[in-house]
Structure 1
Amino acid sequence: MVKIAWHPLFAYPLPEGHRFPMLKYELIPEQLLHQGFISRRNLFAPDKLCEDVILLTHENEYWQQLKNLTLPAKEQRRIGFPLTEQLVEREIRIAQGTIDGAIYAKQFGIAFNVAGGTHHAGSNWGEGFCLLNDQAIAANYLLNNGFASRILIIDLDVHQGNGTAEIFNGEPRVFTFSMHGDKNFPFRKEQSDLDIALQDGTEDEMYLNKLNSCFPLLLKHNPDFVFYLSGVDVLKSDNLGKLGLSKSACLERDRMVLQFCKNNSLPVQVSMGGGYSPDIKDIVDAHCNTFKVGIDIFE
């Protein structure tokens, strides 16, 4: 059975004026339920992540500043919204949901987090709406507890996974792959194991061809587990993306990645990442397509 992490805090309302589309986290499971692709049995509510697990990935001083709401104002501005107790709890539940999803993926082949993909959080910083790096935390949890020995992180959000790259710099057991907009946030990139930088306006055929050419390189890492960040800010309609993908190409991207995992018997945990199209329906539809194709391939 495909398991999906969701919690009411995922849709926690931000202060008025913030553009981050929190509503999508409520609408994604509702749409999947309404259309009959999942039932309530597929959904699970993650608990709070324990501190010891956080500290496998993030530095103690940074975590204490988050926990105690003492992060300097400059660092809060870097994140993009003011720090609150609810936002910190939201982030630790997201990360626990990704860990739980990874364990479910080992059992069922695939699992999802309605939220997550907080790849701009580094070992001692938050940035770009990301406080804690959920997939990095889950990867370290798997490695530390013997659930995986070689991990592949496929990051196809339009923004480079700079935090993930920094966290795993020099870690041979984790291969980080990011295909992203070259002239887009973050403007100071970190070095992934494989970075594919795309020009503004890159369209369907070129994007999919570049992605397809990467799979043989990714397989050389000999992974036994995959984390996939499936941001839909690659859409042409996205306010922050600058690429030119159609919704059908975004769906095909997901199919290619998840079929690659299935064909190579690689369990995969999927976090949703970004999506900032002006019409919330475009965001939700594209995210729901990720769930639908994953369920189709693995069930």
Structure 2
Amino acid sequence: MAVMWLFGQALLSIFEQMTLPIVHHPAYCADLPANHRFPMDKFRAVADLIRAEGLLGSGDFYRPRPAPFEWVALAHDPVYVDQVFNAEVPQKIAREIGFPMRADIALRARCATGGSVLTGYLALEHGLACNTAGGSHHARRAHGAGFCVFNDVAVALKVLQADGAIRKALVIDLDVHQGDGTADIFSGDPDIFTFSMHSAKNYPVRKVPSHLDLALPDAMEDAAYLTALQEVLPDLLRQEAWDLVFYNAGVDPYFEDRLGRLALSRDGLKTRDRYVIETVRSLGVPLAGVLGGGYSNDIDELADRHVTLHRTALSIWEAESRSERTSVLG
């Protein structure tokens, strides 16, 4: 009995020490002019809020390495990758991206990409993990666009494929903008399925077809949005034996988002995230969450909106941990 009690206490100690893996790097936040349209400071604010709310428990962020050339070139034209790494991006492409393509912007893109690679590996190991950046889904194979330098999710999936860690994966992209870059990169890959549910009349004007696109009308609210998602997601998840799901939890479907055209409430975003994560995890499929888009002049409000992903994922993580603990000790 004493041995069993000690064994149980050791397991309890292990479970108590573990918490949801969350990935962050200080370089996620690069300097931009104060009047720039992209809210770069949100990445610092997201990390600060995660710490302040105790979502890391007694641990800390997982810190990624900057993605090396070899990783990024799995998803992007090596010529373009070289241009970014050397801060020599042609002005035409830089304008399409929307950033001054300096060395610190390149480092930020490499770190965010490395962060999504790490998030993918952590999800495979632990079942669930989240990045505090990522979801740069407008970057196509040839070049970046729409505030997206490298397509971090595409690079992560290519790295995991090349490593033999996964074969089949599903991308669930619920950012308000269509995931044209991800669709472009995986258009000929039978093992990666891209699903984008987005505003029909929003950026990009020329959309690249995903394997499944669900284009939504302007001003769609919570109930209709969630019904549309519930009508397709279960069938998608049962379509294949997925090794991994990457979830782009963009918060720009919010009704007050500066670049969104939908009308979700804060509760709607929370319900959406919980539905996606619980549905995926109920099938035992690992899920890697990335931040996605969100635009507001109020950085604190925006960070709070984004951290919905991490709060929700942690809640589900803790419920799974309690269930595992009960199973082991019961």
Q: With structure 1 as the length reference, what TM-score do the two structures score?
A: 0.97
Instruction: Report the CA distance between 1:39 and its aligned residue.
Output: 3.6
Q: Which residue of 2 aligns with 1:3?
A: 21
For residues 33 and 50 of structure 2, the distance between their equivalents in structure 1, rounded to whole angstroms, comes to 28
Mapped contact 2:80–2:142 kept (Cα < 8 A): yes
Q: With structure 2 as the length reference, what TM-score do the two structures score?
A: 0.88
Q: 1:241 aligns with which of 232, 235, 260?
A: 260
Q: Which residue of 1 aligns with 2:37?
A: 19
Instruction: Report the CA distance between 1:40 and its aligned residue.
Output: 6.3
For residues 193 and 260 of structure 2, the distance between their equivalents in structure 1, rounded to whole angstroms, comes to 24
Q: Which residue of 1 aligns with 2:7?
A: none
Which structure would you say has the larger Rg? 2
Match for 2:128: what amino acid?
A: I
Give me the CA root mean square deviation.
1.2
Q: Which residue of 2 aligns with 1:49?
A: 67
269-278 vs 35-44, which moves further: 35-44
Q: Which residue of 2 aligns with 1:64?
A: 82
Match for 2:156: what amino acid?
A: A
126-135 vs 277-286, which moves further: 277-286
Q: 2:164 aligns with which of 146, 153, 157?
A: 146
For residues 117 and 295 of structure 1, the distance between their equivalents in structure 2, rounded to whole angstroms, comes to 19
Match for 1:238: what amino acid?
A: D
| Cα distance, 1:119–1:40 mapped onto 2, change above 3 Å | farther
Instruction: Report the CA distance between 1:112 and its aligned residue.
Output: 1.1
Match for 1:264: what amino acid?
A: L
Q: Are positions 1:270 and 2:279 aligned together?
A: no
Q: 1:259 aligns with which of 278, 283, 286?
A: 278
For residues 42 and 70 of structure 1, the distance between their equivalents in structure 2, rounded to whole angstroms, comes to 35
Mapped contact 1:79–1:126 kept (Cα < 8 A): yes
Report the count of equivalent residues. 299
Match runs of 1:26-105 below 5 Å = 26-39=44-57, 41-105=59-123
Match runs of 1:124-135 below 5 Å = 124-135=142-153
Q: Are positions 1:179 and 2:212 aligned together?
A: no
Match for 2:263: what amino acid?
A: G
Which residues of structure 1 form unaligned runs of 5+?
A: none
Q: 2:134 aligns with which of 116, 128, 132?
A: 116
Identity %: 39
228-237 vs 269-278, which moves further: 269-278
Mapped contact 1:155–1:229 kept (Cα < 8 A): yes
For residues 69 and 158 of structure 1, the distance between their equivalents in structure 2, rounded to whole angstroms, comes to 30
For residues 97 and 7 of structure 1, the distance between their equivalents in structure 2, rounded to whole angstroms, comes to 8
Task: Classify the secondary structure of the residue corresponding to 2:288.
Answer: strand
